């Protein structure tokens, strides 16, 4: 959310990781559809959960691969070690593997099924099953160190009483500090970042200008919408209602994309809409 001059707030990195995970998952779905696979009931929910775990995996790998800093509101900056930010499922230990149609995802099957089995049709789940909430002392919705009692109660089972007491004695001094990175110590773009964390699956291509770490916004979502639209409707969607188009795009892309975003993607690509 904030960072001192010369640093990048970690939520900017997360935004691009989010985009990359959507793009990679959409590309994987496209590969499966091309191979003759047909989406089955519950696919959208499985896709949502897999993408959430992929997001968390990318973040965990990034934390483990690069130097991470914490910045106080008054400007003090300190390098922080991974115990502050460790994922409780130790996601950084494992190589990524997309879940198959049965939900098997190699060594990541357990966190995937934990998320899937506790997520309702609206994408809501208890905090302890949310891949983002299973990091120790960090809130990646705000990209800050978080030492609230709710978080402490959730992670207490992972430590002995003495270990937790010693850790809290230190980490409480950093509650609310922003997580950030230094540009000259960090990958210059998302492609370099993904390579550095060992993610080598294909993604839909995006403009190079959108890849630089530190850009704002999420134009990549339009690229995904456009690619999914072209796959679903190579000759345009004719008189098909937009609600049906949204459903079809969701099957291909693995996430819900609004018709507004789809239309904007088509307009920006100078495609003709029916």
128 domain residue, yes or no: yes
Asked if 30 and 146 sit in the same domain, the reply is: yes
The pLDDT tens digits of the residues spanning 107-122 come to 888 888 887 777 665 5
Asked if 106 and 32 sit in the same domain, the reply is: yes
Q: Is 158 helix (H, G, I), strand (E, B) or coil?
A: helix
Check residue 119 and give its pLDDT: 67
Asked if 105 and 142 sit in the same domain, the reply is: yes
Tokens of 56: 């968390």
The pLDDT tens digits of the residues spanning 66-119 come to 999 999 988 899 998 877 788 888 999 999 988 876 666 678 888 888 877 776
- d(C-alpha 120, C-alpha 214), whole Å: 34
Please state the rounded mean pLDDT for residues 254-268: 84
Asked if 212 and 273 sit in the same domain, the reply is: no
Check residue 207 and give its pLDDT: 46
| Residue 134 scores a pLDDT above 50 | yes
Asked if 239 and 206 sit in the same domain, the reply is: no
Bigger pLDDT: 100 vs 193: 193
User: Domain span at residue 274?
Assistant: 219-274
Tell me the whole-structure pTM to 2 decimals.
Answer: 0.76
103 domain residue, yes or no: yes
pLDDT band at 183 (very low <50, low <70, confident <90, very high): very high
Asked if 248 and 211 sit in the same domain, the reply is: no
Asked whether 236 and 252 are in contact (CB, 8 A), the reply is no
Percent composition of the chain: helix, strand, coil (DSSP 3-state, to 5): 55, 10, 40
Asked if 136 and 245 sit in the same domain, the reply is: no
2 domain residue, yes or no: no
Asked if 140 and 100 sit in the same domain, the reply is: yes
249 domain residue, yes or no: yes
261 domain residue, yes or no: yes
| Residue 236 scores a pLDDT above 50 | yes
Asked if 155 and 231 sit in the same domain, the reply is: no
Q: Judge residue 36's burial from the number of C-beta atoms within 10 Å of its C-beta, 0-12 exposed, 13-18 middle, 19 or more buried.
A: exposed
| Residue 56 scores a pLDDT above 70 | yes
């Amino acid at each position: 959310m904030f960072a001192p001059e010369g640093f990048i707030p970690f939520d900017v990195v997360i935004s691009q990781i989010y985009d990359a995970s959507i793009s990679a998952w959409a590309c994987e779905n496209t590969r499966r559809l091309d191979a003759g696979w047909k989406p089955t009931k519950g696919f959208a929910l499985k896709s949502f959960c897999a993408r959430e775990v992929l997001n968390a995996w990318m973040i965990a790998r990034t934390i483990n691969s690069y130097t991470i800093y914490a910045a106080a509101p008054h400007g003090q900056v300190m390098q922080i070690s991974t115990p502050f930010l460790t994922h409780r499922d130790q996601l950084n230990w494992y190589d990524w593997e997309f879940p198959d149609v049965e939900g098997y995802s190699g060594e990541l099957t357990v966190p995937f099924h934990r998320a899937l089995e506790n997520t309702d049709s609206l994408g809501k789940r208890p905090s302890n099953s949310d891949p983002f909430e299973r990091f120790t002392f960090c809130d990646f919705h705000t990209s800050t160190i978080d030492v609230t009692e709710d978080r402490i109660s959730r992670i207490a089972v992972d430590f002995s009483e003495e270990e937790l007491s010693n850790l809290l004695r230190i980490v409480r001094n950093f509650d609310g500090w922003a997580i950030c990175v230094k540009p000259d110590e960090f990958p210059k773009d998302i492609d370099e970042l993904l390579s550095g964390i060992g993610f080598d699956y294909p993604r839909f291509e995006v403009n190079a200008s959108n890849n630089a770490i530190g850009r704002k916004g999420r134009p990549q979502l339009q690229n995904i919408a456009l690619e999914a639209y072209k796959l679903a409707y190579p000759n345009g969607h004719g008189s098909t209602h937009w609600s049906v188009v949204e459903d079809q795009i969701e099957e291909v892309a693995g996430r819900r994309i609004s018709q507004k975003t789809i239309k904007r993607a088509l307009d920006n690509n100078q495609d003709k809409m029916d």
